[in-house]
C-alpha cells in the first residue's frame, strides 16, 4: 500500500487546510493515531462547525477554543464515538453550549450519546452524512461542497491517508467495512480530509487499493488455512511480521475480523474446541467489563484478557 506522510505539524495552532477549513492536530500521537487526531473547524453562516472534538485532553480543548477566537462554535459533529474523537466532547459542550451531532446510536462501548442524531443522508450545516460502518458501527463520513474547492469528503477513520483502518471485532465489522469502501467508489468527491494524516488529493485510487489490499490479505489467510488449521496469532505472525506490541495486537484484530467475515460467508469455521473455549470465556462475564464505562485500567485489562483469548482461537477451512 502507498500512504501519504507529513512532517509533525505544529502544536496548539489551527492550520489552514482549504479556504474556510482549518484543523487543530490533537496532542495524541501514537502508532495508531499518527501525529494525532485532526479536529476540523469549518466556517459557516452561524459560526464554526467542529468535526471530531478529539481526545479527552484539556490542552487540546483550550487549543481549539483559542483557534475559534471570537467566532462562536455552533456545533460539534462526530464521525464516530471512538475515544480519540469524542473524548473532548463533554468539555467542549460545556465551554460552548454547542450540541454534539452523531449517528443514531453510538454502538461503541464509550458512553457517548449524541444530542442530535444523523442517519445516512442526513444533513447539518452543509455536511451530508454518509453511513460507513466497518471501522466502527456508528461511522459517518461527511460530504461537503467547499466554496472555491468543490466536493470533498471528511472521511474520518474509514479512509485515512496515512494508514489502513483497524477493524476490531465485535464493534468493527469487516463485511460492513468492504461494503462501506465499495459505496465510495462511484461517489463524486475528489478530495478526502481524514481524521488522521494529511489531505488525500486523489482518494479513489487509494480506496481501490485498500479493497485490493484487503482481498489479498483474505486470500493469504485462506491460503494459510489450506495447509491446516491455524490460530489467529500464528496467521498474524506469518502475514504481518509486526514487532511493536500495539501493531501486533492490531494485526491480530484484523485477522480475527477477516476470519469472522469468511465464517459468515461459509468459507472457514472455528474449530469446535476453540469455539467452546471462547464461548465459555465470554459467558464468564469478562467481556461485560468492556462496557462498564468505569476505571480505564479495568477496561484495558478486560480488553487485554479478551484479546488473548481471541488470539488463540483456531480456524480451519470449511468443508
Cell of 223: 491460503
Span near Zn ion by CB under 5 A; candidates 30-38, 74-82, 115-123, 205-213: 74-82
- 3-state SS of the chain: helix, strand, coil percent to 5? 35, 20, 40
Nearer to Zn ion, 79 or 231 (CB): 79
Nearer to Zn ion, 157 or 310 (CB): 157
Task: State the binding string over 126-165 for Zn ion (x if CB under 5 A, else -).
Answer: -------------------------------x--------
Closest approach, Cβ 60 to Zn ion, in A, equals 16
According to the binding rule CB under 5 A, does residue 82 interact with Zn ion?
Answer: yes
* Buried/exposed 144-168: b ≥16 CB within 10 Å, e otherwise: bebeeeeebbbbbbbbbbbbbbbbb
Beta carbon nearer to Zn ion, 178 or 315: 178
Q: How far is the CB of 160 from Zn ion (least distance, A)?
A: 9
Compute the least distance from the CB of residue 3 to Zn ion, in Å: 17
Query: Could you tell me if 1 and 10 are in contact, meaning their C-beta atoms sit under 8 angstroms apart?
Result: no
Nearer to Zn ion, 194 or 203 (CB): 194
Stretch that binds Zn ion, among 82-90, 96-104, 222-230, 240-248 (CB under 5 A): 82-90
CB of 109 to Zn ion, least distance (A): 13
258 within 8 A of 218, measured Cβ to Cβ: yes
Question: HSE on the CB side for 237, CA within 13 Å?
Answer: 7
Which residue, among 96, 99, 36, 29, has the nearest Cα to 67 in the 3D structure? 96
In whole angstroms, the minimum distance from the beta carbon of 210 to Zn ion comes to 15
Count the residues in the chain: 319
The residue written with cell numbers 484543523 in the block is 23
What is the Cα–Cα distance from 122 to 128, expressed in whole angstroms?
A: 6
35 near Zn ion (CB under 5 A): no
Nearer to Zn ion, 307 or 317 (CB): 307
Which residues would be at the binding site for Zn ion (CB under 5 A)? 82, 157
Amino acid at each position: 500500500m502507498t500512504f501519504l506522510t507529513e512532517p509533525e505539524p505544529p502544536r496548539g495552532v489551527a492550520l489552514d487546510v482549504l479556504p474556510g477549513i482549518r484543523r487543530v492536530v490533537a496532542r495524541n500521537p501514537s502508532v495508531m493515531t499518527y501525529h494525532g487526531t485532526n479536529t476540523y473547524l469549518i466556517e459557516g453562516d452561524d459560526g464554526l462547525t467542529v468535526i471530531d472534538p478529539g481526545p479527552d485532553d484539556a490542552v487540546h480543548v483550550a487549543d481549539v477554543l483559542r483557534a475559534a477566537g471570537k467566532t462562536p462554535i455552533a456545533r460539534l459533529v462526530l464521525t464516530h464515538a471512538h475515544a480519540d474523537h469524542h473524548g473532548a466532547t463533554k468539555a467542549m459542550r460545556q465551554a460552548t453550549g454547542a450540541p454534539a451531532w452523531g449517528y443514531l446510536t453510538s454502538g461503541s462501548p464509550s458512553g457517548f450519546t449524541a444530542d442530535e442524531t444523523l442517519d445516512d443522508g442526513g444533513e447539518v450545516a452543509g455536511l451530508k452524512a454518509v453511513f460507513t460502518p466497518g471501522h466502527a458501527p456508528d461511522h459517518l463520513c461527511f460530504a461537503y461542497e467547499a466554496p472555491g474547492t468543490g466536493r470533498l469528503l471528511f472521511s474520518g477513520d474509514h479512509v485515512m491517508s496515512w494508514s489502513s483502518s483497524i477493524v476490531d471485532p465485535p464493534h468493527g465489522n469487516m463485511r460492513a467495512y468492504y461494503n462501506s469502501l465499495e459505496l465510495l467508489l462511484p461517489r463524486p468527491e475528489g478530495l478526502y480530509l481524514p481524521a488522521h494524516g494529511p489531505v488525500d488529493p486523489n482518494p479513489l485510487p487509494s480506496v481501490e487499493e485498500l479493497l485490493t489490499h484487503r482481498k489479498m490479505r483474505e486470500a493469504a489467510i485462506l491460503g494459510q488455512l489450506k495447509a491446516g488449521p491455524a490460530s489467529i496469532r500464528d496467521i498474524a505472525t506469518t502475514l504481518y511480521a509486526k514487532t511493536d506490541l500495539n501493531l501486533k495486537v492490531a494485526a491480530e484484530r484484523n485477522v480475527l475480523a477477516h476470519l469472522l467475515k469468511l465464517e459468515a460467508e461459509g468459507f472457514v469455521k472455528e474449530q469446535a474446541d476453540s469455539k467452546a473455549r471462547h464461548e465459555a470465556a465470554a459467558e464468564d462475564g469478562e467481556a461485560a467489563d468492556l462496557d462498564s464505562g468505569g476505571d480505564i485500567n479495568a477496561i484495558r485489562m478486560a480488553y487485554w484478557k479478551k484479546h488473548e483469548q481471541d488470539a488463540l482461537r483456531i480456524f480451519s477451512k470449511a468443508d
